[in-house]
Amino acid sequence: RPDTASAIKTLQLLQRVVEGALQQQNQESAAKSIRLMNSAFWESVGSVPGGIGLMMALGFELEDRGDGRGPAFVLRGDADRSLLELAQALLQEELAALGKGSVSSSSSSSSSGNASSSSIGAIAGASAQSDFNPYASAFSRKAKTRVQDKVEQKLEQLLEQRRAHLLRFDKMEDRNITVLQPLTGKPATGAAATSADANASLSSSEADAASSGDHSSEYDDDNEDDEELSAATASAVLQAIRSSRARQQTQPFASAAARRLHALRAARLRAYALVNVRFPDGVQLQARYNAQEDTVGHVVDVVRHSLRREVRHLPFRLSALGPTRALLPDQLLQEAGMVAAANVVHLKWEAGEEAKSSAAMAETMSVLRAELVQGARCLAAARREQYDVPPPITLS
C-alpha cells in the first residue's frame, strides 16, 4: 500500500538520523545540522504529525544559523544516549514488522497480480530512498564553478596579504616584555573575584540548564500536553521560517566561499596580539605574540624567561577566566580566542612544598628579573595611555 511505502520511508529516514546522532556522540565531532526545509526530510518527517516533536524529544533543537538556508535541527550536547539507542531499537522493530526485510523475497512472487507488484514496487521505491543522507548539504557539485574558483583565489590572496602584515617574534627582545604593577602593594583580589564571579555565573547557568533539562526530559501522555507541545513547536517553526525568509530578502544570495571572503574582509585583525599574564597578587606580565603561529607554550616560555634563574623551575599553570578553563601548551592562541588587542590569562602556582615556601607565592616583583622590575609601569597609567595597542590590519 502507498501508506506502507510512506511509513517505511519515514522510518528509514529517522533511523539514519538516529544512527548519525549516535555516531556523532561516539566520535565527539562537530555538530551536524539537518535542514528542516529539505524537501526529502520535510516530506518524510517535517510534515508528518508528531515528526518535529519526535526530533526534539530525541535531543535535537531547532536553530537558525543565519546562513540563508532556513532553520535546522542540531543535536544538543547533553542529549540522552540511552534514549537514542532505545529509539534505534524501536525503529528496527517497526521496520521488521512492516516486512522491510522480506522485500527481495517477495519480488520473486510478484507475478501473482498487478496489485501485489505495484505494492512491492512502491515499497522498493521507499527502500531506494533510504540512501538519502539527511546530514548532507543541500547542493553537491563534482566540479568547481568559475565564480567559485575566482572567489577562492581572491581569498587565498587576501590571506597571504594579511600574513605578510603579521609580526613574527624570533627573539625575546622583539616581544616587548613589560611588567604592569597595580597601584596598591597589597595582594589584589581581582583574580579571585574574577574567578568567583566566573564560577558563580557558571553555576547559575548550569542550574538554569539543569532546570530546563529537567522540564524537557519529562514526558506526559495527556492529550492536553500533546496539544500544547504541538502548538509551541509549530509557533517556533513558523517564527524560524519567517525570520529566515526575512533575512534572505535583505541579503543577496552568496556561495559559501563568498560568505567566507566577506567575513574575512570584515574581520578586524591586528598585527600582533597582546597577552597579559596575571599573577596571584595582581601584577601582570605583558608581551607580544603572533596569534596565528604562537601557542600557549610560547606564553609559558616568556614567563619562564621573565623569572629569576633560581625560581624558573617552580611549576605553574595558565588558565583563562581564572581556574575555569585550562590552556593546553600546544594550543594556538587563535584557537584559544586570544586575537584581540588585550587578553588576560591567569597564572596559578602549583601546590607544592617548595612553591609554598618560595617568595613567588607572596610577592611577584621579588621573583621577576631585575631589568623588568626597573621598567615596570603602573597598570592604571598603561590603560589610560593606551600603551602598546596593536594597529588593526585593514585590506580591501
| pLDDT tens digit sequence for 197-209 | 434 443 444 444 4
Q: What is the DSSP pairing of strand 72-75 with strand 60-63?
A: antiparallel
Gap between the Cα atoms of 290 and 300, Å rounded: 14
CATH number for region 172-187+268-393: 3.10.20.90
Residues in the chain: 396
Q: Which residue has the higher pLDDT, 166 or 114?
A: 166
What is the average pLDDT across 120-129? 42
Q: How confident is the model at residue 299 (pLDDT cuts 50, 70, 90)?
A: very high
What mean pLDDT is reported for the chain? 70
The pLDDT of residue 297: 92
The pLDDT of residue 282: 84
Is 339 in contact with 331 (CB distance < 8 Å)? no
The pLDDT of residue 117: 40
What is the average pLDDT across 35-48? 82
pLDDT digits (tens, 9 = 90+) for 47-91: 888 888 888 888 888 887 666 677 888 888 788 888 888 988 998
Strand ranges across the sheet with 60-63: 33-35, 72-75, 60-63
- CA-derived radius of gyration, the chain: 29
- Could you give the percent of the chain with pLDDT greater than 90? 3
Strands (E), the chain: 33-35, 60-63, 72-75, 178-181, 269-270, 273-278, 284-289, 316-320, 325-326, 343-349, 377-378, 392-393
Across 49-53, 116-120, 350-354, 379-383, least confident range:
116-120
User: Given a cut of 50, is residue 349 above it in pLDDT?
Assistant: yes
Q: Name the burial class of residue 321, with classes exposed (0-12), middle (13-18) and buried (19+) by CB atoms within 10 angstroms of its CB.
A: middle
The pLDDT of residue 304: 92
The pLDDT of residue 30: 64
Q: Where are the domains of the chain?
A: 2-131, 172-187+268-393
Gap between the Cα atoms of 120 and 339, Å rounded: 60
The pLDDT of residue 195: 40
The pLDDT of residue 198: 39
User: Given a cut of 90, is residue 249 above it in pLDDT?
Assistant: no
pLDDT digits (tens, 9 = 90+) for 282-293: 888 999 888 878
- Cα–Cα distances in angstroms (integers) from residue 274 to residues 288, 293, 389, in the given order: 5, 14, 8
pLDDT digits (tens, 9 = 90+) for 333-348: 878 877 766 788 888 8
pLDDT digits (tens, 9 = 90+) for 187-243: 444 434 444 443 444 344 444 444 444 444 444 444 554 555 566 667 777 777 777
Q: What is the DSSP pairing of strand 273-278 with strand 316-320?
A: unpaired
The pLDDT of residue 258: 72
Q: What is the DSSP pairing of strand 284-289 with strand 178-181?
A: antiparallel
The pLDDT of residue 332: 86
